[in-house]
Amino acid sequence: MPVARGPQMNARSAILVGVTGIMIAVVLGGGVLFLANQSENVELQLGDTDFDAGQIGRISEEIDDRGPILYSDVAGRSRDIILQHLGDDPEAGWFAFDARPIGAARDCFFEWNSDVDRFDLVLADGSDADCAGVTMDERGNLSTGELIQTYPVTIDDDNNVRVDINANSGDE
């Protein structure tokens, strides 16, 4: 049984298709270049500019029940933060600060000690060996008098707690 041949393209059709494709590519490339030259400032913005910690009611209840929340930086940039809420008003009394003093190793971080209402600097394994014995009060004041990185906390229109983790750094 003979096999039927499919449609054949002659040289004229092939050239026409090729020239049309080149013309479309030139027009699209020219359009991209035109649009690229319209603005002098190119701003890349990848990801959120702040951290959404969740709904105020849920987060404030969690902090009231278990203490301040440690959020680990899953991107590995060592920007672990602690979110704290003080007072009865869920829309006020929010604090966010680094989970460790400036220069401390990543495996040293502050842990809430409810017995004495303060943060103690401990190792990830729960011990306090090799950590400087620094403590911090509930508002982020270090016992050494040094400063810790703090972050502005706001409540958005959807009642989410938002921490501006980029407020004090232009390069991150």
3-class secondary structure, 70? strand
Architecture of the domain delimited by 51-163: 3-layer Sandwich (2.102)
pLDDT for 72 = 85
| 92-to-82, 84, 87, 95 alpha-carbon distances in Å | 16, 11, 8, 9
The mean pLDDT values, 10 residues at a time, for the chain of 172 residues are 71 90 96 80 67 90 91 75 90 90 82 89 72 83 86 92 77 40
pTM tops 0.75, yes or no? no
Give the span between the Cα atoms of 66 and 115, in whole angstroms: 12
Q: Which helix (H) or strand (E) holds 66?
A: helix 56-66
C-beta of residue 35 within 8 angstroms of C-beta of residue 15: no
pLDDT for 153 = 93
- Domain map (residue ranges) of the chain: 10-39, 51-163
pLDDT for 108 = 84
Give the span between the Cα atoms of 40 and 121, in whole angstroms: 47
Give the span between the Cα atoms of 137 and 115, in whole angstroms: 13
